[in-house]
Chains A and B, each alone.
Chain A
Amino acid sequence: MTYEELLTEMALANERIIVMTAENRALVRNLPGILGKRFIDTGITEQTMIGASAGLALRGRIPVVHALAAFLTMRAFEFVRTDLGIANLPVKLSGFIPGLLSDGNGPTHQAIEDISIMRGIPNVTVFAPADEDDLVKMLPQIWQSKQPAYTRINTRKTGYEHAPFTMGKAEVITEGNDVTILTYGLLFEQALIAAEILKGEGLSVGLVNMRSLKPVDEQAILKASTQSNLVVTLEDHFLTGGLYSIVAEVLLKHQTTANVLPIALNEKWFRPALLPDVLQHEGFTGKQIAERILGYKTTYHQPQILTPEFSE
């Protein structure tokens, strides 16, 4: 099932759902004809769209709003904080091409502080699915909740079949004593490859798909930190405010510590190119991740990474 199929099914079953976009139709091309007046395109006005979504929610609607993640979370930030956060309205933000998924667009389009700024708003929940299967397993609960939600939309197909979703729970793929990789979103695909390489090198490897970043699964983080000698936080996000910060906050809150290796974008925007090249250039391929953790080069083969279709 695709994002659009899921949204269509849920919107047809629930009159309260309104689909909105600030002229970003990649995910919702067929919905104007299907939903009629319940499809609202406000034009390139992220702020006005968020304000209007608040008004619609005041009337009992559940707006699912679409824009590129960078503009949804940053251009409209104060509207999200002030109109959705303060009022705690059930508006569902679908941020398109978050993180490295903006591949060739350049730094204007890079949403790599979105987790940080969205989770900083009281009442706003934050989610980052690993792939399309994860996405469609997560969204029904996200859309049914009474809180505002920001979701990093990720429609890539990995072939991995995910466990059912529970809000605030991580998906533990494997457990391991030597190293546990905590990750979310697009890099889950590369983390699977990295974990195989690490196992091939004789390590006991854990892998956790964090999925729900706010509320976050504190127990999964604490368990990884006690079970493994090394915890790796892997994310296509600035080092500040994302998963590395979340792990630091959780460990400090529980008055414990751990040996943590952060793999993230440290104080820089990434070099724009097609996604496979971006991953390679920035050191985020599965092979590169494994070698960062091992501390030495290997002879393993990096599987081919599929280039996403142009989808802005």
Chain B
Amino acid sequence: MNNFDQQELKAIALKVREHIVRMSTDGGCFTGASLSAVDLIVYLYSNFLNINPSNLNDPGRDYLFLSKGHDVPALYGTLAELGLLDKERLKNHLSLNDHIYWHPNTNIPGIEFHSGSLGHLPSVAIGVAMDLKISGSNNKVVCILGDGELNEGTCWEAVLVANAYKLDNLLFVIDRNQFQANVRTEDLIPLEPLADKFKAFGAAVIRIDGHNFTDLHQAFTAYPFQQDKLNVIIADTVRGKGLPSIEERADRWFCNFTAGEIGQLLLELHGEHDTLLTSETLVVR
């Protein structure tokens, strides 16, 4: 834990977004879903979780589970910027010589469990949180879920079970970027009022702006905001945050940009100008 100030957090987040853009070519990745989670993940590793290069196998560390999976480029970038993962390895995206691919896996230092099949890690996180309670340990367990992922019934099973076992050492963070893979959540399987749903299942809920480091700081320092309950933070985010040319665009779910576009997008990240994208989009039917 580094306790970076806002300027430092913003600088790290910008670098992580640059990594994501660089991974969005030569096969591509889930760029939009990653960009929405960047500020959350950067904040968690920088200022909240007791996870650092020297304690990755220490039973006293905190745990982060990335259940939505598609946002793993944001995690790769964060791990690289904070010294948990060799930055050079990011160049191996999708290479057979490494394990940097579209979903999290435990060959990457700092990744506790593989994911990709949605609705799994809430329960795996419960198991870890249960053991910490049984063992009398105070470590924290965070599980990041996508909003589209909440279609899966096992997420809601997990909320019931976590509350039944009073797992206040467990925190679910919802990356509420309003999109499933291809369409807006509210146009397919509406989730709102989302906070009320979690509350009705017994959880303690805070809703914040997931790109505002002041909000993030207030929410995470307030944790546990209720004892003996699952704590849930709904982080309102923007899919594609930082790249106006793909923000909230359903057809830019998975991005495989041309080399030329990457250069433009890196400039766009720094607010220089929008990019005229010509690469293939995913047709939304």
Do these two chains interact?
A: yes
- A89 → B minimal CB distance (Å): 10
Interface size class of B (residues with CB under 8 A): 20 to 34
Query: Which of A48-56, A185-193, A266-274 contacts its partner?
Result: A48-56
Main secondary structure of the interface of B (DSSP, over half): helix
- B31 → A minimal CB distance (Å): 25
Contact with A along B106-117 (1 / 0, CB 8 A): 100000111001
* Residues of chain A contacted by B72 (CB below 8 angstroms): none
* Residues of chain A contacted by B59 (CB below 8 angstroms): 59-60
Interface check A177, CB cutoff 8 A: no
- For the complex, give the distance between the alpha carbons of A63 and B123 in Å: 14
- For the complex, give the distance between the alpha carbons of A18 and B131 in Å: 9
- For the complex, give the distance between the alpha carbons of A78 and B123 in Å: 13
- B139 → A minimal CB distance (Å): 10
Give the contacting residue for B161; candidates A38, A50, A52; CB below 8 A.
Answer: A52
Give the contacting residue for B128; candidates A43, A56, A82, A83; CB below 8 A.
Answer: A56
Query: Which of B152-160, B175-183, B195-203, B212-220 contacts its partner?
Result: B152-160
Known pairs A43-B161, A48-B154; A55 contacts B120 (CB<8 A): no
Interface check B51, CB cutoff 8 A: no
Give the nearest-CB partner of A81 in chain B.
B117
- For the complex, give the distance between the alpha carbons of A277 and B49 in Å: 60
Interface check B164, CB cutoff 8 A: yes
Give the contacting residue for A52; candidates B112, B113, B123, B132; CB below 8 A.
Answer: B123
Contact between chains at A47 and B154 (CB < 8 Å): yes
* Residues of chain B contacted by A50 (CB below 8 angstroms): 123
* Residues of chain B contacted by A29 (CB below 8 angstroms): none
Known pairs A37-B134, A78-B117; A55 contacts B161 (CB<8 A): no
Contact between chains at B157 and A52 (CB < 8 Å): no
Give the contacting residue for B164; candidates A43, A79, A82; CB below 8 A.
Answer: A43
Give the nearest-CB partner of A51 in chain B.
B123
Give the contacting residue for A55; candidates B106, B114, B130, B164; CB below 8 A.
Answer: B130
- For the complex, give the distance between the alpha carbons of A221 and B254 in Å: 51
Interface check B124, CB cutoff 8 A: yes
Interface check A126, CB cutoff 8 A: no
Interface check A306, CB cutoff 8 A: no
Known pairs A58-B127, A87-B114; A51 contacts B154 (CB<8 A): yes
* Residues of chain B contacted by A61 (CB below 8 angstroms): 131
Interface check B126, CB cutoff 8 A: yes
- For the complex, give the distance between the alpha carbons of A49 and B122 in Å: 11
Of residues B114, B130, B154, B160, which shows the largest number of chain A Cβ atoms within 10 Å of its Cβ?
Answer: B130
Contact between chains at A54 and B117 (CB < 8 Å): no
Interface check A40, CB cutoff 8 A: yes
Contact between chains at A59 and B154 (CB < 8 Å): no
Interface check B265, CB cutoff 8 A: no
* Residues of chain B contacted by A51 (CB below 8 angstroms): 120-124, 126-127, 154, 158
Known pairs A45-B157, A48-B158, A48-B161; A59 contacts B120 (CB<8 A): no
Known contacts A51-B120, A51-B124, A63-B127; can you find 15 more A-B pairs with CB under 8 A? Answer: A38-B134, A45-B157, A47-B154, A47-B157, A48-B157, A51-B154, A55-B127, A55-B129, A55-B131, A56-B131, A58-B112, A58-B113, A59-B59, A59-B135, A82-B120
Mind listing 9 A-B residue pairs with CB under 8 Å? A18-B134, A37-B134, A42-B161, A52-B123, A52-B124, A55-B123, A55-B131, A79-B120, A87-B106
Residues of B near any A CB (own CB < 8 A): 59, 106, 112-114, 117, 120-135, 154, 157-158, 160-161, 164-165
